[in-house]
């Protein structure tokens, strides 16, 4: 296809576009996802931020970004991206902006805005075929307000609003919404899931996406040490385990055609991923919730069977 792919971690763009010293938590997987994304996108971008942990990266008078940035609101970052993109196009068309000064428009959002409150405005922007990148750092709950269930919270996870209790021992009883498929039904040119533990795959997906005009989605499953109740040093290992157990499928879709970019040769049991995290601790103690654990494994197996990658 003529796109230059990188082959190893040594080929990562060296430039840093989000600087250190942010108030994000130690070991934040989302920040790592963002850092790699901004290596891929470069500096000529404007980020339109929805409410979430990363709204708090820019605190007056500081910004950790080398690029431009606008906060809109939780529900409407894609609409903000529409206004910015349209305005840039108008300025270019009317000769009021040098083409050298043009910017790529990037929506930056957590899963709460992406899966829930911002879904209508996201659907609108995809429908209008807005030319923009959309990065969702998915830590599977409302992380910025503590850790409450969002549309991205997986079945079985304990959260602030779905605490496992004696009557409801499972925690979250609903399965995670499938944002990838919600987007795919709109038929945008490019969709991908990414992981901060697979930087080469991540960078190559952005390289591939670059050639398409229109909406481009990237969902990064991002371990969140305080919410997931894990050690900050464990973030990358956990992100790897999510892929290795099949919980997080690394894939892309070009005009709706899905392909998996990294498939484990041998899937590890889901339990290996779950037992490392405080948010799933209730599944093991004081009693093992066999039924729930079985169901979780089945959910993952079903996915891979459906894609004929697990026989």
List contacts with ligand SF4 (CB under 6 A): 24-25, 28, 30, 53, 139, 143-144, 224-227
Residue 44 touches which of another protein, ligand SF4, none (CB < 5 to 8 A by kind)? Answer: another protein
Minimal CA–CA distance to 171: which of 179, 180, 161, 181? 161
Nearer to ligand SF4, 51 or 105 (CB): 51
Six-digit token string for 281: 């601790």
36 burial (CB, 10 Å; 0-12 / 13-18 / 19+) is buried
**Binding residue (CB under 8 A) for another protein from 18, 34, 36, 79:** 79
CA angle 89, 127, 85 (to 5 degrees): 20
Q: Shortest distance, CB of residue 65 to another protein, whole angstroms?
A: 7
Binding part of the chain for another protein, among 50-58, 162-170, 186-194, 268-276 by CB under 8 A, reads 50-58
Residue 28 touches which of another protein, ligand SF4, none (CB < 5 to 8 A by kind)? Answer: ligand SF4
Token pair 């990562």: residue: 12
Cα distance between residue 274 and residue 280, in whole Å: 6
Residue 143 touches which of ligand SF4, another protein, none (CB < 5 to 8 A by kind)? Answer: ligand SF4
Residue 92 touching another protein (CB under 8 A): no
Q: Shortest distance, CB of residue 53 to ligand SF4, whole angstroms?
A: 3
Cα distance between residue 64 and residue 124, in whole Å: 30
Residue 53 touches which of ligand SF4, another protein, none (CB < 5 to 8 A by kind)? Answer: ligand SF4
Residue 134 touching another protein (CB under 8 A): no
**Binding residue (CB under 8 A) for another protein from 6, 91, 182, 200:** 91
Residue 15 touching another protein (CB under 8 A): no
CA angle 193, 157, 262 (to 5 degrees): 25
Token pair 């190893």: residue: 8
Nearer to another protein, 66 or 229 (CB): 66
Cα distance between residue 135 and residue 130, in whole Å: 14
Residue 94 touches which of another protein, ligand SF4, none (CB < 5 to 8 A by kind)? Answer: another protein
Coil, helix or strand at residue 261: strand
Q: Which residues pair with 49 in a beta bridge?
A: 71, 108
Nearer to another protein, 71 or 234 (CB): 71
Minimal CA–CA distance to 123: which of 187, 218, 38? 187
Residue 124 touching another protein (CB under 8 A): yes
Count, residues in the chain: 311
Nearer to another protein, 2 or 99 (CB): 99
Number of residues in contact with another protein, rule: CB under 8 A? 48
Residue 144 touching another protein (CB under 8 A): no
198 burial (CB, 10 Å; 0-12 / 13-18 / 19+) is buried
Nearer to ligand SF4, 248 or 267 (CB): 248
Coil, helix or strand at residue 199: helix
Residue 10 touching another protein (CB under 8 A): no
Q: Residue 80: in which H helix or E strand, if any? A: helix 77-93
Q: Which residues bind another protein (CB under 8 A)?
A: 43-44, 46, 48, 55-56, 58-60, 63, 65-73, 75-76, 78-84, 86-91, 94, 96-98, 100-103, 120-121, 123-124, 127-128
């Amino acid at each position: 296809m003529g796109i230059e792919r990188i082959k190893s971690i040594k080929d990562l763009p060296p430039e840093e576009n989000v600087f250190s010293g942010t108030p994000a938590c130690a070991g934040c997987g989302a920040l790592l996802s963002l850092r790699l994304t901004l290596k891929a996108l470069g500096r000529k971008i404007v980020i339109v931020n929805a409410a979430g942990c990363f709204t708090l990266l820019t605190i007056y008078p500081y910004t950790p970004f080398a690029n431009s940035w606008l906060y809109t609101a939780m529900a409407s970052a894609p609409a903000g991206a529409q206004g910015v993109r349209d305005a840039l196009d108008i300025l270019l068309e009317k000769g009021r902006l040098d083409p050298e000064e043009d910017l790529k428009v990037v929506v930056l959002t957590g899963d709460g805005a992406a899966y829930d409150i911002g879904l209508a405005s996201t659907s609108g922007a995809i429908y209008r075929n807005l030319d923009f990148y959309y990065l969702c750092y998915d830590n599977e709950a409302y992380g910025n307000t503590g850790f409450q269930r969002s549309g991205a919270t997986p079945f079985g996870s304990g959260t602030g609003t779905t605490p496992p209790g004696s009557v409801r021992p499972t925690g979250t009883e609903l399965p995670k919404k499938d944002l990838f498929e919600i987007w795919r039904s709109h038929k945008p040119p490019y969709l991908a899931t990414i992981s901060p533990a697979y930087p080469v795959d991540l960078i190559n997906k952005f390289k591939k996406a670059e050639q398409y005009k229109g909406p481009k989605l990237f969902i990064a499953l991002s371990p969140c040490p305080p919410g997931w109740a894990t050690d900050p040093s464990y973030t990358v290992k956990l992100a790897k385990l999510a892929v290795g157990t099949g919980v997080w499928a690394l894939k892309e879709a070009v005009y709706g055609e899905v392909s998996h970019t990294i498939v484990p040769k041998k899937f590890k049991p889901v339990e290996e991923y779950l037992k490392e995290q405080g948010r799933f601790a209730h599944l093991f103690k004081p009693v093992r919730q066999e039924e729930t654990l079985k169901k979780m494994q089945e959910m993952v197996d079903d996915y891979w069977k459906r894609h004929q990658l697990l026989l």
